[in-house]
Structure 1
Amino acid sequence: MINITIAIFAYLIDRKFGEFRSIKHPVIIFGEMIEFFEKHFYKDSVSRGALLVIFMLCVVGTIAILIQLYIESLGWFLNILITSVLASIFVAHNMLIESVKNVLSAEDKKQAISMLVSRDTEHMSESDIYKASIETYAENLSDGVIAPLFYLLFFGLFGIVIYKVINTMDSMVGYKNEIYINFGKVAARLDDLVNYIPARITAVLIMLSSYDAREKYGTLGFYKDGEKHESPNAGHPITAMALVLEVKLGGDTYYFGKLKHKPYFGEGRENITKEDVQNALQILV
C-alpha cells in the first residue's frame, strides 16, 4: 500500500513540477559512470560488456538499497514524502510531453525532432515529423513513465533506480554497430527483459483510452503489428497509439543516409497531422 501511494505521488509531482533543474540529474551521473568504465575497461567482447552491467548494478544498487533502508527508518510519513520526491526524478512524463510540444511549436521542426530521434531528419516532410513525434511519445510512455512506475510499485526506490540504470546503459551502449555490437549486447538484452511487461501494459492502457479502438480491434489488437517491430517491446505501444489515433505509423525510414525498410503499425491514414500529435499527448495524461 505504501508503494502504491508513493507511485501515485511520484507521478503527480513529476506532472506538476517536472525536472528539478537545480540539481544534477542522477541519470547524468549514471552516464558518467558508464563513460568512465568504457574509457578504462572497454573491450570488443560480450564478457567485458557484462562486467559493465555488473559494475553498474552493484555500485548503484548498493547505494540505492542503503538510501531506501535509511528513509524507511524515518517512519511511514517521511518515507512516503521523501521517496515520492526522489522517485519523481526518475519519471519523465512532464519532460516527454514538453519535448513533443516543442516540436509542434518550433519554427525549425526538423531541428526540433532531431533532438528526439536518431533517424535522418533533413528530408522529412511535415507528416514525417509528426509521425516521428507520435512514435517517440508512444515508445517513451513505456520507457519514461509506465516502466519506472511499475518497478517503483513492486520494488520501491531500489526498483525505479535499477530500472533507470539499465535503461541508461542501453541508451548509451546498446547499439548494433562496430563499437557496441558485442560490448553492449548484455545491456541491450537486459533492457529488453525489464521492458517486456511494462511495454505491454502501456499498450493496453493506450487501448483502454479509446472505446472505439477496443470495439474495432479488441484490447489486445495491437499485438499483431506490434510483434513486427525489430524491438521486442517498442512496437506494441506504437501500434496501440496508431490504432487509437486511426493512423498508420512506421514505414521506411532513413538512418545515417541509408534507407531502412520498416513495417507499418496500424491501419489508418498515412498523412499525419498536428492534431494527431495533440490527440496523442492527451492519452494517459
Structure 2
Amino acid sequence: MNNLLIALFAYIIDRLFGEFTFIKHPVVFIGDLISWFENKFYKNSVERGTLLVLFVIAVVSFFSISLYLYLNLLPLFFNIFISSFIASMFLAHKMLRDSVASILTAENKKEAISMLVSRDTKNMNESDIYKAAIETYAENLSDGVIAPLFYLLLFNLPGIVIYKAINTMDSMVGYRNKRYEKFGKCAAILDDIANYIPSRITALLIMLLGRKKSIFAFYKDAKKHDSPNAGHPITAMALVLNIQLGGPTSYFGELKDKAYFGKGKQNIEAQDVKQALLLI
C-alpha cells in the first residue's frame, strides 16, 4: 500500500511541477558516475562494459537502499512524503509532454524536433516532424513514465532509482557504433530486459485509453521493430490514432528501411499529435 501511495503522489507531483530546477537532478549524478568510469576505464570490450554495469548498479543500489532504510525510520507520513518527492524526480511525464507539445508551436520545427530525436531532421517535411514527435512520445511513455512507476510499485525507491540507472547507461553507451558496439552491449541488453514488461503494459494502456476492442492488436506490427520493446507502444499509438508510423528513416546520413507500424494515413498532421497528447 505504501508503494502505491508513493507512486500515486510521485506521479501527481511530476504532472504538477515537472523538473525541479533548484537542485541538481539525481539522474545527472548517475550520468556523472557513468562518465567517470568511462573516462577512467574505457575499453571497447564486452568485459569492460559489463564492469561498468556492475559498478554503476552497485553504487546506485548502495545509496538508494541506504536511503530507503533511513526513510523507513521516519514516521509513515514523512516517509511517504519524502519518498514521493524523490521518486517524482525520476519521472518525466510533464517534461516529455511539454517537449512534444512545443513542436506544435515552434517557429523552427526542425530544430525543435532535433532536440528530441537522433534521426536526421534536415530534409524532414511537416508530416515527418509530427510522426517523429508521436513516435518519441509513445516510446518515452514507457521509458520515462510507466517503467519507472512499475519498478517503484514493486521495489519502492531502490526500484525506480536502479531502473533509471540502467536506462541512463543505455542512453549514454548503448549504441551500435565503433566506440560502443562492445562496451555498451551489456547495458543495452539489460535495458531491453528491464523494459520488456513495462513496454507491453504501456501499449495495453494506450489501447485501453484509445478504447480499442482488440487490445492486443499492436503485437503483430510491434514485432517488426528492431527493438524488442519500442515497437509495442509505437504501434499501439498508431492504431489508436489511425495512422501509420515508422517507415524509411534517415539516421546519420544513412536511410534505414524501417517497417511501418499501424494502419491508416501516412500524412501526419498537428491534430494527430494533439490527440496523442490527450490520451494520457
**TM-score normalized by the length of structure 1:** 0.98
Partner in structure 2 of residue 55 of structure 1 = 55
Partner in structure 2 of residue 268 of structure 1 = 264
Structure 1 window deviating more from structure 2 (96-105 vs 146-155): it is 96-105
Partner in structure 1 of residue 200 of structure 2 = 200
Determine whether 1:223 maps to 2:239.
no
Question: How far apart are 1:15 and its partner, in Å?
Answer: 0.1
Partner in structure 1 of residue 34 of structure 2 = 34
Question: How far apart are 1:56 and its partner, in Å?
Answer: 0.2
CA distance in structure 1 between the aligned counterparts of 2:115 and 2:194, rounded to whole angstroms = 25
Question: How far apart are 1:101 and its partner, in Å?
Answer: 1.2
Question: Structure 1: 5+ residue runs without aligned partners?
Answer: none
Per-residue CA deviations over 1:182-224 (Å, capped at 9, x if unaligned) read: 000000000000000000000000000122xx23xx1100000
Question: How far apart are 1:75 and its partner, in Å?
Answer: 2.0
Partner in structure 2 of residue 68 of structure 1 = 68
Query: Which runs of structure 1 show a deviation greater than 6 angstroms over 4 or more consecutive aligned residues?
Result: none
Partner in structure 1 of residue 233 of structure 2 = 237
In structure 1, what residue type is equivalent to 2:257?
H
Q: SS of 1:91's equivalent? A: coil
CA distance in structure 2 between the aligned counterparts of 1:92 and 1:126, rounded to whole angstroms = 26
Between the aligned residues of both structures, percent identity stands at 64
Q: What pairs up with 1:138-149 in 2 under 5 angstroms?
A: 138-149=138-149
Partner in structure 1 of residue 105 of structure 2 = 105
Per-residue CA deviations over 1:239-283 (Å, capped at 9, x if unaligned) read: 000000000000000011110000000011000000000000011
Question: How far apart are 1:236 and its partner, in Å?
Answer: 0.2
Partner in structure 2 of residue 115 of structure 1 = 115
Partner in structure 1 of residue 81 of structure 2 = 81
Determine whether 1:257 maps to 2:253.
yes
Partner in structure 2 of residue 248 of structure 1 = 244
In structure 1, what residue type is equivalent to 2:148?
P
Question: How far apart are 1:151 and its partner, in Å?
Answer: 0.2
In structure 2, what residue type is equivalent to 1:239?
T
Partner in structure 1 of residue 164 of structure 2 = 164
CA distance in structure 2 between the aligned counterparts of 1:120 and 1:40, rounded to whole angstroms = 32
Question: How far apart are 1:44 and its partner, in Å?
Answer: 1.1
Determine whether 1:281 maps to 2:277.
yes
Q: SS of 1:21's equivalent? A: coil
Partner in structure 2 of residue 13 of structure 1 = 13
CA distance in structure 2 between the aligned counterparts of 1:73 and 1:160, rounded to whole angstroms = 20
8 Å CA contact retained: 2:210, 2:279? no
In structure 1, what residue type is equivalent to 2:273?
V
Q: SS of 1:282's equivalent? A: helix
Question: How far apart are 1:58 and its partner, in Å?
Answer: 0.4
CA distance in structure 1 between the aligned counterparts of 2:100 and 2:236, rounded to whole angstroms = 18
Q: How many residue pairs are counted as aligned between the two chains? A: 280
Partner in structure 2 of residue 188 of structure 1 = 188
Question: How far apart are 1:229 and its partner, in Å?
Answer: 0.4
In structure 1, what residue type is equivalent to 2:229?
N
In structure 2, what residue type is equivalent to 1:252?
P
In structure 2, what residue type is equivalent to 1:184?
G
Per-residue CA deviations over 1:145-167 (Å, capped at 9, x if unaligned) read: 00000000000000000000000
Q: SS of 2:51's equivalent? A: helix
CA distance in structure 2 between the aligned counterparts of 1:197 and 1:12, rounded to whole angstroms = 23
CA distance in structure 2 between the aligned counterparts of 1:141 and 1:86, rounded to whole angstroms = 19
Q: SS of 2:250's equivalent? A: strand
CA distance in structure 1 between the aligned counterparts of 2:23 and 2:275, rounded to whole angstroms = 33
Per-residue CA deviations over 1:41-77 (Å, capped at 9, x if unaligned) read: 0011000000000000001110000001001110211
Question: Structure 2: 5+ residue runs without aligned partners?
Answer: none
CA distance in structure 1 between the aligned counterparts of 2:131 and 2:80, rounded to whole angstroms = 39
